[in-house]
Chains A and B, each alone.
Chain A
Amino acid sequence: MKQEKIHKIWSPAIECMDRAKLRELQNERLRATVKLEYENVPLYRARMDAMGVKPEDIKTVDDLKKLPFTEKTDLRDQFPYGLLAAKLTDIVRIQGSSGTTGKPIVTGYTQNDIDVWTEMVARSLTAAGGDKDDVIQVCYGYGLFTGGLGAHYGASAIGATVIPMSAGNTQRQMMMMTELGATMLCCTPSYATYLGETLKEAGLLDKVKLKSGVFGAEPWTEEMRQHLEELFDFDACDIYGLTEIGGPGVAFECLEKAGMHVNEDHVIAEIIDPETGEPLPYGQKGELVFTTITKTGMPMIRYRTHDICSIDAKPCACGRTFLKISRLTGRTDDMLVIRGVNVFPSQIETCLVGLEGVAPFYCLIVDRVNSTDKLEVQVELSDEIFTDKVSEIEELRSTIAERIKSVVGIAAKITLVAPKSLPRSEGKAKRVIDRRNLTNV
């Protein structure tokens, strides 16, 4: 049932801070972060030295543009501990996500970083109407992926009753949701839709007490929001985050549902031209870049998210002064988000290397069937087929499926196709066909 539209704010003194004061706070924290990085992370020092930039040159947020960017590949190249600004003894947690090839990327969190993360998610859940009287069902996966634990920390911080379901087992999710009277739901928007439709089919929707949901880990559209809100008769709010920057909660929607407030006391958001790297003014669409200013384990300076969106600086009716980022409208690279998992086509390539009988041509076909993302990987056989036995071809299929499951982290249907049958452009195989309609205009 829908809640009354009351804007609750977890840390009003910060979230509604005067922007000039907020800027001062950011300046101070940015200076400290740059100093910390320069003194403790050889890669940053080398890059800043190469550009002739000293920590003293960075005085205010306006000086950010003098600093080098950080890329996901840096986390891969410095795997696992090369980018730590803290000693391993002070790192209390490792979280991770998929890298662009076989190796995952990991980040180290100090207790301070966990506290920052918790605070960010607490703000997000509060903005969606949450408080200590709520029963919050978390069906993000718990583990290296930041979704489950992040929602869990935030929900605990606001004193809610947490049901740590983790992902999967829809029948059990439905039983717990209805029997325990969950009032808030945290999961991916596609899983929420799937849950809602399954509840509807089972005739259980009238037993559901949800007033809101906080959905993230994958891009979604206004149409999906409308569909979800009609299904559950509740408020569906967006949440944004990435492991590299601190997990979910980096930005979050309030009940105005008009963009996600950036937790600006912890991160600075920039929009840049993905081609030139030049900062773009508010309102213009470009690549989202984050600098963390309170993290101490593995701070990130000008981390390129490759997500495309714009920044909205107009005041929000909720009272928060934090800037908002728009819904994501795409990527500057070929990353896909499938069931909340980041997938790079290049990861598939690493799964095919060294397999007899297959050509290095493949195509990922992503579709959404009954609100669930399905990944099919088509792999071309080489023209000299390696066997005359069906069982050996089936074995090859399951080997590929197992490798993809272990490298990418999701199950895929493997289809073997005839040599040279995949669509090609300029000699290269088309790598991705995404049939989900996830583009926000």
Chain B
Amino acid sequence: MYIHQITVFLENMKGTLSKLTSLLADNGIDILAMTIADTSGFGLVRFIVRESDNDQSLKLLKESGYAARKNHVICVRVPNEPGGLNKILCLLDEAGISIEYLYSFNYSEGNNALIIFRLSDREKGLEIFRDNGISVFSQAEINAIQ
């Protein structure tokens, strides 16, 4: 129940992000979620697109001189209420799983926020979610986002 994410390396220079988003926009690729991690020297942009756009995005990026990759992350439905996220984080903590990073979709489903997790141990994380009745959002569901 993983979903695909694309990671792109950006040099820390003016205009690099809009160059990247222009490339995707010009090719009709819809970004469903995005996060940027920045350091003094570089930035990593991570984003989610529909499955049908993944390979084309990667191809376009590499052709345009970007260092990029596709990898798996987990997307979780988190109730939009006080303590909703906390409950999940506590479960992961108890299981000894670290969170490398997380970010959310700019789309929400009813009363649920959609949070993307990159965990130190993906499989164990999925297990914890399953055992505790936490619903994960599938790639098929992402593809169906209107």
A388-B118 CB under 8 A given contacts A417-B11, A419-B65:
yes
Nearest CB in chain A to that of B69: its residue: A385
Nearest CB in chain B to that of A358: its residue: B67
A393-B42 CB under 8 A given contacts A381-B9, A418-B11:
yes
- A222 and B118 CA atoms in complex are apart in Å by 58
Nearest CB in chain B to that of A388: its residue: B7
A349 within 8 A of B: no
A56 within 8 A of B: no
Mark B51-84 against chain A: 1 for CB-CB distance below 8 A, else 0. 0000000000010011111010000000000000
B18 within 8 A of A: no
B44 within 8 A of A: yes
If over half of B's interface residues share one DSSP class (helix, strand or loop), that class is named, otherwise mixed; here it is: strand
- A336 and B83 CA atoms in complex are apart in Å by 60
Minimum CB–CB distance for A412 against chain B, Å = 13
Hey, which chain A residues are within 8 Å of B68, CB to CB?
383-385
B131 within 8 A of A: no
Nearest CB in chain A to that of B42: its residue: A416
Q: Are A386 and B65 in contact (CB under 8 A)?
A: no
Minimum CB–CB distance for B55 against chain A, Å = 14
Hey, which chain A residues are within 8 Å of B15, CB to CB?
none
Q: How many B residues touch A, CB cutoff 8 Å?
A: 22
Mark A383-407 against chain B: 1 for CB-CB distance below 8 A, else 0. 1111111110110010000000000
Minimum CB–CB distance for B73 against chain A, Å = 8
Q: Are B67 and A381 in contact (CB under 8 A)?
A: yes
Q: How many A residues touch B, CB cutoff 8 Å?
A: 21
Q: Are B67 and A388 in contact (CB under 8 A)?
A: no
B100 within 8 A of A: yes
Minimum CB–CB distance for B102 against chain A, Å = 13
A388-B42 CB under 8 A given contacts A381-B9, A419-B67, A421-B65:
no
Nearest CB in chain B to that of A394: its residue: B39
Hey, which chain A residues are within 8 Å of B37, CB to CB?
390
A416-B41 CB under 8 A given contacts A388-B46, A388-B118, A389-B100:
yes
Q: Are A390 and B39 in contact (CB under 8 A)?
A: yes
Nearest CB in chain B to that of A389: its residue: B100
Mark A369-386 against chain B: 1 for CB-CB distance below 8 A, else 0. 000000000000111111
- A394 and B68 CA atoms in complex are apart in Å by 16
Hey, which chain A residues are within 8 Å of B10, CB to CB?
418
Q: Are B66 and A418 in contact (CB under 8 A)?
A: yes
Q: 8 Å CB contacts to A: which residues of B1-24?
A: 5, 7-11
- A382 and B62 CA atoms in complex are apart in Å by 10
A3 within 8 A of B: no
A385-B67 CB under 8 A given contacts A416-B41, A416-B42, A418-B11:
yes
Hey, which chain B residues are within 8 Å of A388, CB to CB?
5, 7, 44, 46, 69, 71, 118
A284 within 8 A of B: no
Hey, which chain A residues are within 8 Å of B9, CB to CB?
381, 385, 393, 416, 418
Nearest CB in chain A to that of B44: its residue: A390
Q: 8 Å CB contacts to A: which residues of B85-117?
A: 100-101
Hey, which chain A residues are within 8 Å of B42, CB to CB?
393, 415-416
Hey, which chain B residues are within 8 Å of A386, CB to CB?
69
Mark A12-33 against chain B: 1 for CB-CB distance below 8 A, else 0. 0000000000000000000000
- A382 and B66 CA atoms in complex are apart in Å by 9
What are 30 inter-chain pairs, A to B, with CB distance below 8 A? A381-B9, A383-B65, A383-B66, A383-B67, A383-B68, A384-B62, A384-B68, A384-B69, A385-B7, A385-B9, A385-B69, A386-B69, A388-B7, A388-B71, A388-B118, A389-B100, A389-B118, A390-B37, A390-B39, A394-B39, A415-B41, A415-B42, A416-B9, A416-B11, A418-B10, A418-B66, A419-B66, A419-B67, A420-B65, A421-B65
Chain B contact residues, CB within 8 Å of chain A = 5, 7-11, 37, 39, 41-42, 44, 46, 62, 65-69, 71, 100-101, 118
